[in-house]
């Protein structure tokens, strides 16, 4: 799955002129999706862009989908904390994975790189129609 940035928003949903993480017109590989239930029911894409040292979440409102190819390694997993959904690799859906990854845990970093490679190189994709 790939998305193109069509506008820049801050964390409060207000339009901004520039961002160190993404640029209008650039296309990004989507590494996973997070759907949060709530008043506004937001969807976030996890991607690496710009000067980011690692993956981060961005509101899908800032993008248009340009490739709907869904990676074979993605599954759909509930997120008990916020009653939402995580759509991505099973290894990343495990409770505490992202905390371990950002704390520098070698096993989490390895799992991230392995799944990221599958997504980016397209070796594990299925097309949905």
DSSP 50: T
| pLDDT confidence bin for 38, thresholds 50/70/90 | low
- Give the pLDDT score at 40: 63
Question: By three-state DSSP, how is residue 17 classified?
Answer: coil
Q: What are the C-alpha distances in Å from 119 to residues 71, 73, 88, 89, 113? A: 6, 8, 10, 9, 10
The count of domains in the chain is 1
- Average pLDDT of the chain is 89
Angle at 74 between CA 70 and CA 80, to 5 degrees: 130
Residue 71 lies in domain: 2-126
- Judged against a pLDDT cut of 80, whether residue 60 lies above it is answered with yes
């Amino acid at each position: 799955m790939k998305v193109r940035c069509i506008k820049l928003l801050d964390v409060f949903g207000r339009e901004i002129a520039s961002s160190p993480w993404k640029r209008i017109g650039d296309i990004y590989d989507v590494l996973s999706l997070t759907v949060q239930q709530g008043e506004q029911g937001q969807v976030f894409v996890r991607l690496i862009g710009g000067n980011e040292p690692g993956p981060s979440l961005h509101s899908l409102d800032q993008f248009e989908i340009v490739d709907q190819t869904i990676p074979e390694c993605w599954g759909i997993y509930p997120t008990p904390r916020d009653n939402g959904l995580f759509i991505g690799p099973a290894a990343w859906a495990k409770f505490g994975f992202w905390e371990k990854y950002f704390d520098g845990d070698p096993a989490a970093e390895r799992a991230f790189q392995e799944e990221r490679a599958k997504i980016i190189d397209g070796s594990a994709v299925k097309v949905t129609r």
